[in-house]
Structure 1
Amino acid sequence: MHTVIIGVGGVGGYFGGKIAHSGQKVTFVARGKHLEAMQTNGLEVKSVDGDFKTNSFKATDVLKQVEKADLILICTKSWQVANAGELIKPILKDTTIVMPLQNGADNAEKLCDVIDSKHVVGGLCKIYSKIEAPGIISHFGHPPEIIFGELDALKTQRLQIPKAIFDKAGFLSTISDNIHVDIWSKFMFIATVSGLGALTRATIGEMYQNPETRNIMSETATEIHNIGTAKGVTLPENLVDRIMTFISMQPFDSTASTQRDIMAGRPSELYNFNGFIVREGEKLEIATPTNHFIYSCLQLMENKARS
C-alpha cells in the first residue's frame, strides 16, 4: 500500500511519520525549508508518547514524481483543500481513497467538487501538534487518533484499507458510524475555542475559567449546533453541553492552531470556522450574532495576514 501525505505540518508530519516509521511506503508532499530538512535529515517527531525519527519515505514538492496512491491523506489547512484536490488528480487510481484530516465542517464536500466523489472518505483527527522547526514535528498533547467513515455511512470493505495502515502504524483509529456527526462535533470544539482564543489572546483553560468568556463559548457552540442541525446533520441535543465539558478537560495552557496562526500574523482558518457559520447562517436565515462578532473583529487581522 502506498500512502501519500499532502501537507506535512503537525497533522501530516505526525501521522505520516508514524506510518513511515512502521515500514510502510509513504510519500510526503511538502515545500520550502521543511522539505529540504526532510530530504537531508529525515523527519524527526518529538512526542509525549515517545520520540522517533524516520528516513523511510520519499519527500518532494513535484506531484509528477509521485507514484499513484492507494491512500491520500489531505493534511493542509482547510482553505487549501480544493487546491490540494486539483493537485492530486495525476496520482489517483480508480481505487484510491482520499481522506481529508484538517479542521472544518465541509472539507469532504470541497474535495467532491474537484475530484470524483467515489474517492472521498470523510475523516478527522485528534491531536495537539505543530512544526517545531524544519524537519521536526512536536506532538505535545492528546492521544493521537484518526476517525473516518463513508459519507453515506455505509460500512464498506474498502474502509479496512486505511484501518490496516493505521493499525500497523500504531496509533488509534476508529471507523465512524456517522462521520458527519463526528466531523461537526470536532468542528464545534475547534471553532468555539479558536476564534475567541485569538480575540482574547487567552489559553483554553483561561477562557473556560472566566464566567464571561465561558458563556461566550457556549453561545458560539449553540449557534454552530443550530446551523449543523438545519443542514440536516443529526447532532445530539446535548452536544453543546458535552463540548463544553470536553473544553473543561483540555490542558489549561493549550491553544488551537488557528489561534496561534492569527496571533502570529499568519493566514488562518478563520474564514472556514466562524466565517463558515456566519455565511451558512445567512443562507439559512438563522442568526449567528456571537460568531458574527468574533469573525468581524478578527477579519481585520486576517485580511492583513493575507495581503
Structure 2
Amino acid sequence: MRYLILGAGALGGYFGGRMLEAGLDTTFLVRERRAAVLTKRGLRVTSPKGDIHIDKPPLVKADSLKAEYDAIILGSKAYDLTSAMDAIAPAVGADTAIIPLLNGLDHIEQLQHRFDVRNVLGGQCLISASLDAEGDVRHFNDLDVLSFGELDGSHSVRVGAIESDLAKTRFTAQALDDIELSMWEKWCFIASLAGINCLMRTSIGGVIEASGGSIALKLYDECVAVAESQGFQPRTEARQRGRAALSAEGSPLTASMLKDIQRGSRTEGEHILGSLLKRATSAKIDTPTLEAATVHLRAYENSLANTTQA
C-alpha cells in the first residue's frame, strides 16, 4: 500500500519515520520550510525505542501532489483542518482511507462532508514527542500507539491490509472495531486534562496541591456524562485510568493546550472543550465546570485575537 502523511512534525515524523524504517511505501506531504529542513538534515528521530536517521525521506509538496494514495494519515491541528483537507484533496481517490489523528470528533463530519463517508476511518494516537530547535523529532518515552478502524465497526479488507503493514513497524498499531468509543474515551480525558490545566494554569500535581483535585474529577465526570448522552458509555477501565491520572499527587502531567497558552499560541479549545459543551447544552446536561473551562479558553482566544489585530 502507498501511504501519505500530512506533515513531518513530531507526530507525523515519528510514525512516518517508523514506517519508512519498516520498508513501507511512505511519503510526507510538507510545506516549503519543512521540506528545506528535511532535505538538509534528513529525518532524524531520537527515541527510547531506537533512533532513526533517514537521509532522504520521500517528500512531496501540495502543488505537485497528483498521485492517489491508499491511505492518508492526517494529524493537523483542528484549526488547520480546512487547509489540511485542501492540501490532501488531490491524493484522495474513491478508495483512499483517511486516518485522522485529531482529538474530539467534529473533524469526522467535516472530512466526510468534504470527501466521502467511505473515505474516512476513525483514528487516534498516544505519543509524547516534539520537534527540537534543529527540527529533529524527540520521542520521550515508550508510548507510541496509533489506533484506527472503520466507524461502522466492521473489520474491512483495507483495515486488515493497513494493520498487516503497520505490524511491521516498531510502534504499536491497533485496528479497533470500537474505534469511535475509544475516541470518545480519549476525548473525555483530554478535555478534562486540558480544561483543568488551562483553568488552573498548572500541572495535575499543582492542581492537587492547591486542593483542586475534586474540581478535576468533577470536570471528568461531566465529560463522561456528555459521552453517555451521545450513546457512548466509557468503559470502567477507561474511567478508572482517567480518574487516576487526574488525581495523582505530584504528577507533572500537563496537556499540550497549556503549553500553547504559555507560548501565546492558538489552542484547540473550541474543538476539544467547546464541542463537548455544545453537545451538553443540546442534551440539557448541566456541566458548570466544563462551561467554566470553555469560557476561560474563549476569553484567552479573544484576547489573543485582539492583541494580534492591535
Give 2:57's aligned residue: 57
1:185-264 alignment runs, 5 A limit: 185-207=185-207, 209-210=208-209, 212-236=211-235, 239-247=238-246, 252-264=251-263
> Are the counterparts in 2 of residues 8 and 75 from structure 1 also a CA contact under 8 Å?
no
Structure 2 counterpart of 1:129, which letter?
A
Q: Deviations over 1:68-120 (max 9, x none)?
A: 21110001012323442333221112221100012223332221121111111
> Are the counterparts in 1 of residues 185 and 238 from structure 2 also a CA contact under 8 Å?
yes
Q: Secondary structure at the match of 1:73?
A: strand
Structure 1 residues 239 and 195, CA gap change in structure 2 (3 angstroms): same
Determine what percentage of the aligned residue pairs are the same residue. Answer: 27
Higher strand share: 1
Give 2:166's aligned residue: 166
Structure 2 counterpart of 1:91, which letter?
A
- List runs of 5+ in structure 2 lacking aligned partners: none
Structure 2 counterpart of 1:170, which letter?
R
Give 2:21's aligned residue: 21
Q: Deviations over 1:31-87 (max 9, x none)?
A: 253332012211111212222211353224325335321110001012323442333
Give 2:90's aligned residue: 90
The reply to whether residue 33 of structure 1 matches residue 33 of structure 2 is yes
Give 2:110's aligned residue: 110
Greater shift, 219-228 or 106-115, is seen at 106-115
Q: CA deviation at 1:22?
A: 2.1
> Are the counterparts in 1 of residues 49 and 142 from structure 2 also a CA contact under 8 Å?
no
Q: CA deviation at 1:30?
A: 2.4
> Are the counterparts in 1 of residues 101 and 123 from structure 2 also a CA contact under 8 Å?
yes
The reply to whether residue 181 of structure 1 matches residue 181 of structure 2 is yes
Q: CA deviation at 1:210?
A: 3.2
When the two structures are superposed, what TM-score results if normalisation uses the length of structure 1?
0.91
Structure 1 residues 58 and 66, CA gap change in structure 2 (3 angstroms): farther
Structure 2 counterpart of 1:294, which letter?
A
Structure 1 residues 151 and 34, CA gap change in structure 2 (3 angstroms): same
Instruction: Give the length in aligned residue pairs.
Output: 306
The reply to whether residue 46 of structure 1 matches residue 58 of structure 2 is no
Give 1:271's aligned residue: 270
Q: CA deviation at 1:265?
A: 0.8
Q: Secondary structure at the match of 1:133?
A: coil
* Aligned equivalents of 1:172, 1:249: Cα separation in 2: 26
The reply to whether residue 120 of structure 1 matches residue 107 of structure 2 is no
Structure 1 residues 271 and 250, CA gap change in structure 2 (3 angstroms): farther
* Aligned equivalents of 1:276, 1:121: Cα separation in 2: 20
> Are the counterparts in 1 of residues 203 and 254 from structure 2 also a CA contact under 8 Å?
yes
Q: Secondary structure at the match of 1:168?
A: coil
Structure 1 residues 17 and 65, CA gap change in structure 2 (3 angstroms): same
